Amino acid sequence: MNARFWQNHAYRYGCLHPADKASLGLLLLGLLLRPPLLGWAAWGRAVQRLFPHIDFYQLKLSDLVRIPLQCLWLLLRRPAAERDDTSSTHYLLRGWQAICKGWQGCSVYLQTHIPWRLDRQRLQQAAEQLLEHRYWHKRWLSRLAYALALLLMLVCITTPFNEWAQGLFVLVLLLVALGITRLEGPVPTLVLMVFSVVVSTRYLWWRLTSTINDDGWVNLLAGILLLLAELYAWLILLLGFFQASWGLQRQVSPLPTEQDSWPTVDVLIPIYNEPLRILRPTVLAALSLEWPQSKLRVYVLDDGQREEIRLFVEQTGAHYLTREQHLHAKAGNINHALGKTTGEFVAIFDCDHIPVRSFLQVTMGGLIHDAKLALVQTPHHFFSADPFERNLNGVQQVPNEGELFYGRVQDGNDLWNAAFFCGSCAVLRRSALLAVGGIATDTVTEDAHTSLRLHRAGYRSAYLKVIQAAGLATESLSIHIGQRVRWARGMAQIFRSDNPLRGKGLSWAQRLCYGNAMLHFLYGLPRLIFLCAPQAFLLFHAYTIYAPALGLVLYLLPHMLFSVLTNSRMHGRYRRSFWGEIYETVLAWHITIPTTMALLFPRLGKFNVTAKGGLVNSSHFDWGVTKPYLLLLLFNLLGLAVGLYRLGFGPSNEVGTLLVNMIWTVYNILLLGVALGVAREVRQLRISHRISAHLPVTLHLPDGRAYPCMTLDYSEGGMALEAPVAIPTKADSPLSVSLQAAGQHFSLPGRVVFAKGKRVSLRFNHLSLAQEMALVQCTFGRADAWLGPQERPPEHTPLHGAQDVVRLGSRGLLQAVQSLGPQFTWLASTLLWLASLLPRQPLPVPEQSA
């Protein structure tokens, strides 16, 4: 062998496939050990091209690992000529260009050729007239129409299509759906639901019949796990559509004109270890309820047996109850009070839920007129930000997590007489409650279980979507998770011990509503599967969905698109798109074990009180909560790195599948980034939360001058005011503020905290109990105090939710990296060193001169 032989093989490696790998091994050995055969210059050029990351003139100890790894990779890698990377990239680019061109063409067609864009109102009226036509009152005709619709859906779901036919089917449905989204009213929403059900069920049918890979136990196990998670998500999607398809929008029933016929009401406020400052405004607001005083009694149920609570309650004129044995937590506390009180109805408030004056006048009308109505529930509204709003800086931008349930789901439940008791802000009929044994004590979600028992006994419930009380949200993510874990455990306990799908007393619609509420909290394991599924292919080469990338585009993508589009249409006023996945990602790890244990052992678990009114002294990452997020994040990052490696050096026939799984992984990484962002607790030092409001007040200075002002915000401790002119005052100056409520004027003393131009901030100074009650009546207890938050505009497009995921996920990842500090520096340097050991692509061969 001469030098020319070695040089030619060294230059041309990567373009020619050797006759056998043994000769290639000799070639590499000769390059490393016999440089004199090549000449030192030629040897250096050849080695530099084959080992671009190694400096052979200054070898390091770690190069003893890099050199054999590079040699092994050069022996095993496929030559570039066989991979045909250019061809696959070419087809991917052409496919993307075709998709963009097709989308632009569809948009232009919709804008210029769809006639109902010009007469949208007439089309909407025609749809409503068709829905209300007298023929639909004929039972045989409506049943025939339903049967034909189901038959058509079955045909659309099960008929096999080739790629072109499937693409055309989806395109037609998408064009019709885009046109429907421009119409208002519930009928277009129902049509979108039907489309989504057809497309999603067709996707599941395709998955069950065409994508199961039984070639090896790893492929089969990974595929079955993902399929089970998808079946669960599909079931929840269908039950959610049914539950929230049509809200009842119940109106307030008027009270009898004669107050003598109004019943007696006991207001029960259970408390355990919450601070007195949280209880005070609730008790004062309850005492101010607009109801005949001879028919209203307020009870504080103190399971903590604290002297300061007793003294305060006695000062206000309310009643104080306690018990010797503290069995069954909140449920036992209320049941004990039921044996000590006599009111015909009981109104229940958590100690942080401050009712408005009109609460009983709004809720009692239906209970008086309907003897079988046992429960009237109103929404839970929170005037403080929850961890998602506060830690993600989303206050007033993103709906509160609970708004979907109280804004859409409960209203849908009410249509089927399945509105739940939510533990607070509700009125119950005492006789009905005693008939079912009082508040349920068998599970840790006593409220939902109690309403289930009432419905089984034949009683009715009602939900009024009018905010009549407001309280405190959870202060930190760890407390928030603890509360949700209790809810999830309790719902699993009910599903196991008193399954609504079995037993007597419930209609089929009530069974579905309760079933969905309980099955929903089992999302922990399916969400974890979704967070890990793409790594089965990227790391272990397991085909969870045994189908080409084009099949995923034609079946999976429409399923996701129609689900997002329909849910945005239904719930966009109460929850932005993709935020459900954010909430599930944050909670999935933490609720999986409790719900599983509750299903297996329903008697286990105890009631945990949700702490309220806490402070966050400094901004910090809650690393105890984030450990599972970090583990899942590293797992996904590893899969993404391997995917990038395989994308560059793997076979071309896997490029499409790699891209699908890598996009899925990037989405998971962003979701986990949002979870990390929520775990970064923002500093919270305010004991009293400020509520934005514009109320007319009069500011009085010590010299007698008065200035009409409007409030910018208020709290239990002070106010921020704006006057039409500059106010001549300075910090710590005394003043007073006049407010009005129910035709009465109240004067409250205070001191200036800040004054600049037309704006003044003040804190209240040593208020008496009567003045404190007046403050609550004029602010938190106003009948219109919480009417504004209900008027939230709907989501304009699901893309806004997607932008939230990208923006908040990226920011959460960056904040986590910055918070790691020295730990991250060590981790990053370790990862970079490990990455430096990986093989490299040989440098291109230079052009040979003639």
Q: Report residue 144 as tokens.
A: 């025939």
Q: What is the largest CA-CA distance in the chain?
A: 116
Query: Of 543, 552, 547, 540, whose CA–CA distance to 642 is shortest?
Result: 540
Q: How many Å apart are CA 619 and CA 500, to the nearest integer? A: 44
Task: Specify the 3-state DSSP secondary structure of 735.
Answer: strand
CB 807 within 8 Å of CB 582: no
Which H or E run includes 670? helix 655-678
Residue 727 dihedral angles phi and psi, to the nearest 5°: -105, 125
Q: 């406020």: which residue's tokens?
A: 269
Answer yes or no: are the C-beta atoms of 683 and 619 closer than 8 Å: yes
Annotated catalytic residue 303: yes
> What Rg value do the Cα atoms of the chain yield, rounded?
33
One-letter amino acid identity for 390?
R
What residue has token string 């050069």? Answer: 74
Report angle CA 379, 385, 389 to the nearest 5 degrees: 110
Please state, in angstroms and rounded to a whole number, the distance separating the CA atoms of residues 494 and 491. Answer: 5
Which of 360, 506, 519, 327 has its CA nearest to residue 427? 360
Nearest to 634 by CA among 501, 493, 517, 539: 539
Distances (CA, A) of 485 to 444, 482, 591, 733, 774: 10, 5, 5, 49, 38
Which candidate in 302, 303, 352, 411 is catalytic? 303
Contacts of 615 (CB under 8 A, 6+ apart): 475, 684, 685, 687
Strand 381-382: give its sheet, edge to edge: 354-355, 469-471, 381-382
User: Which amino acid appears at position 409 of this protein?
Assistant: V
d(CA 523, CA 729): 57
Backbone dihedral region for residue 768 (phi beyond 0: left; psi -120 to 50: alpha; all else: beta): beta
Nearest to 439 by CA among 487, 374, 391, 509: 374
- CA–CA distance, 128 with 346 (Å, rounded to integer): 41
Cα 302 to Cα 340, 424, 446, 469: the distances in Å are: 14, 16, 18, 21
Q: Are 774 and 741 in contact (CB under 8 A)?
A: yes
Decide: helix, strand or coil at residue 152. helix
Residue 460 identity: R
Pairing of strands 296-302, 265-271: parallel
Can you tell me whether residue 810 is helix, strand or coil? helix
DSSP state for residue 385 in the 8-state scheme: -
Euclidean distance between CA atoms 553 and 551, whole angstroms: 5
- Are residues 477 and 625 in contact, defined by beta-carbon separation less than 8 angstroms? yes
d(CA 780, CA 343): 26
Give the whole-angstrom CA distance, residue 492 versus residue 487: 9
* Interatomic CA distance for residues 356 and 366, integer angstroms: 18
Token code pair at residue 547: 């189908």
H/E stretch holding 648: helix 623-649
Query: Residue written as tokens 């400096």?
Result: 55
Which is the catalytic residue, given 63, 414, 447, 622?
Answer: 447
Secondary structure (DSSP) of 463-492: E--S--EEEPPPSSHHHHHHHHHHHHHHHH
Q: DSSP code of 269? A: E
Q: Which residues are catalytic?
A: 303, 447
